[in-house]
Amino acid sequence: MLVVGGSTSALFAALHAAREGASTCLVEPTDWVGGQLTAGGVPAVDFAWRENAQGINAKAAHKERCNNHYEFHDWLQAIGNPGDCTVSRHCFLPRSLLDGPIAEAVRRESNLAVFLNAVPIAVETETNGGKREISRVAAVQRFPKASGKFAGHERDLSAAIGDWYSPRPTAFFDKRRLSFGPCEGRKMMVVEASEFGDALALSNARYLVGEDGFEGSARQWHSGCGQSFTAVFNLSIAKKAPNAGSWSAAGAPQDHEFSFGSYDWSKVWRYRRLKGNGAPDIGQISAMNWKRGNINNGNDYADRHLFLPHEAARKTVEQGQWRGGVDTEALEGAERLSRHFYSWFASQAPTAFRGLIHVDTESVGTRHGFYKFPYLRESRRSVGHGGFLLCAWDLSFFPGPTGFPFADRVATTLYDYDIHALNGCGARTEEADVYWRKHPKPFYLPLRAFSNDTVANLVVAGKCMAQSFLANAATRLHPGEVVSGTAAGVIAAHCSRKAESMHQLIESMDFKEVQKKVSRYQPLEWKIGGETFPKDGRKPAKIAFGFGNPHGWDVEWADSLRAYHDRDFLYFPIPDREIESLAEKIKRKSAAPPSFEKVSRSGGRFLKCLKKTGFEALSLKFAKTSR
């Protein structure tokens, strides 16, 4: 099996696939595996922080080892918080994790081969039993011609990205073509866990990019709007002025006003400090990835969407010119903004440190001074088998202390809806504010979120999971990537051993063996206040997939709602006496009675109501059921 890597989820997918006995290859675009933990510039781990998420102390629950990936929790406990930062319990220089626990974990796995500085450039598919499957993946691996500690990372990514994906040797790299296919007599499985969604685009799989038109929509809407991203860099306080050659003091761009907001220089320095403690001082190192509130007052780049829309990305694939499907002008803009932010931030330093603040290239392993890869908050997102998407209502609206307890759950995680919107976009997803007011409770990731609707042997993880734009905003943090990568690796190894596709596994509705394997590494239940959830006897009924939408009309099915939905309405199948009774109750109590209508569609009868009213009826029904 092949893991298309670059993210934190890719590392954990590769490790756990190998542990489950699969011959596993990982292609990593940089020479640092680990994604945002290392090359991606966020070695400050994000855990749930709300002490009251719909009545649940999410912060306390997420501290417990029993509610985390066990090995990852132990790694972080051993590292501690050498940066004494304020944003996390664990801030550290990436090398401490990369050269320690990560290197040791990779070294132990004899079934794992890691190809550093390698990216996919083409995917072949074939049809088996009416299902399209990936049969071969072509990649290119680059070898720096220069020597030294920064070899291969002399240029900004905006200048080098084309070279990374080109199979031709250049003045900077020698190249080697790689080809990955199945072992004889085995089924090939591909795990898509890249930061750019390379395998999704190259295989012409069904995917979404950018914001949704409405929650739960499996159709493309606002591809030009999405999450901002950051060209992260580290600063250190030196004993003497840095040598010439450090970033020049270019000042702030005229159209961008930097600000500390309610913070001050010292608080921003300590926010993601990776080395040091107490007050700012000489010898300390801090990561610069700053934004506060709704105003983009730091180096969080929000002027252009990083990802090309479907049509433009598909064109590059068809022409054999795939370069990650990203806008290089956006990459360049992010790098330029970060350089301006450095100049401004250094100019605001306390008098004792003026002239001593410099870009720390040693700690990021690049000559240009940025981390090896930008910090991305989104990627191309798969549409799962049967059109499935993990949605915000699965995280927020189920009664009790957790999200919806999917029968096919393979992971647990938790964070808030964390969206850094692009300038001029805001939140384009309809009714986004409805979900933001309902903070996610401890929630579950279902196996279906790891599938793709059109490519049967593709397993997706991390930011590429089958999920809505809003759901991604809660799953995209470090712990979510760790548990999704782990589940993806175990699932892919299981399918390979059984010689079955993801579609076959899902349609069998037999998840017990996979769940048993996954549970060796991470929990499938939540322990909250001394109780375990979901409770025995309260597990959901068998999955109602709604494959191919048998009703033939423009709606999608949601497990946790037990209803169909479209942009504006929920449709509850009739007869549902309880929902009908609650609808009448809501009508009687409302000063302006909401509209409920019984409609017939494709031989079925449904109670149709506005989403907001439908959520109210569901809340009443669920509350009564859970008592």
pLDDT tens-place string over residues 417-450 = 999 989 888 766 665 666 666 899 999 999 999 9
Q: Provide the pLDDT confidence category of residue 397 given band limits of 50, 70 and 90.
A: confident
79 within a domain of the structure (yes/no): no
Looking at the fold, whether 485 and 622 belong to one and the same domain comes out as no
Domain edge (last residue) among 339, 364, 389: 364
Residue ranges with strand state E in 193-279? 207-208, 229-230, 233-237, 273-275
Closest CA to 543 of 449, 402, 439, 414: 449
With a pLDDT cut of 70, the percent of the chain lying above it is: 91
Q: What is the pLDDT of residues 470-514, one digit of tens each?
A: 999 999 999 999 999 999 999 999 999 999 999 999 999 899 999
Shared domain for 212 and 296, answered yes or no, is: no
Tell me whether residue 113 is in a domain: yes
Question: How many structural domains comprise the chain?
Answer: 3
Question: Domain boundary at 301, 333, 364, which?
Answer: 364
Pair 424, 393 in one domain: yes
Tell me the per-residue pLDDT of 302-348, one tens digit each, with 9 for 90 and over. Answer: 999 999 999 999 999 999 999 999 999 999 999 999 999 999 999 99
Q: In 372-433, which ranges are E strands? A: 381-382, 409-413
Same domain, 37 and 140: yes
Q: d(Cα 321, Cα 329) in Å, to the nearest integer? A: 17
Give residues with Cβ within 8 angstroms of 283, minimum separation 6.
236, 237, 239, 275, 276
Q: Do 590 and 468 have their domain in common?
A: no
Whether 61 maps to a domain, the answer reads: no
For residues 354 and 387, membership in a common domain is answered with no
> Six-digit token pair at 235?
């600063």
One domain for residues 125 and 218: yes
Q: How far is Cα 604 from Cα 260, in angstroms, rounded to an integer?
A: 57
**Does residue 366 surpass a pLDDT of 50?**
yes
* Residue-level pLDDT at 574: 84
State whether 37 and 124 are in the same domain. yes
Distances (CA, A) of 412 to 71, 346, 402: 15, 41, 10
Contact, 308 vs 326, CB < 8 A? yes
Q: Is 607 found in the same domain as 575?
A: yes
pLDDT confidence of 184, banded at 50, 70, 90?
A: confident
Q: Which of 53, 41, 4 is nearest to 25 (CA)?
A: 4
Cβ pair 306, 225 in contact under 8 A: no
pLDDT at 487: 98
Mean pLDDT of 587-591: 74
Residue 566 covered by a domain: yes
Tell me if 120 is assigned to some domain.
yes
| Domain end residue (candidates: 483, 498, 533) | 533
299 and 413 co-located in one domain: no
Show the CA angle centred on residue 482, arms to residues 480 and 487, nearest 5°: 95
pLDDT reported for residue 431: 59
Please confirm whether the linkage preceding 575 is cis (ω < 30° from 0).
yes
Higher pLDDT, 527 or 550: 527
Could you tell me whether strands 357-359 and 118-128 are parallel, antiparallel, or unpaired per DSSP bridges?
unpaired
Q: Determine the structural domain holding residue 313 and report its residue range.
A: 229-364
The answer to whether 183 and 497 have CB atoms below 8 angstroms apart is: no
Asked whether residue 27 falls in the same domain as residue 47, the answer is: yes
Residue 540 lies in a domain: no
Q: What is the Rg, in whole angstroms, of the alpha carbon atoms belonging to the chain?
A: 24
pLDDT at 47: 96
Residue 356 has pLDDT above 70, yes or no: yes
Does the residue 66 lie in any domain? Answer: no
Are residues 526 and 396 part of one domain?
Answer: yes
Per-residue pLDDT, 251? 53
What tokens were used for 439?
A: 């903070």
In a domain, 433, yes or no: yes
What whole-number distance in Å separates Cα of residue 41 and Cα of residue 35? 8
Element (H, E) at 625: helix 611-626
Query: What is the residue type of 551?
Result: H
Q: Is 242 helix (H, G, I), strand (E, B) or coil?
A: coil
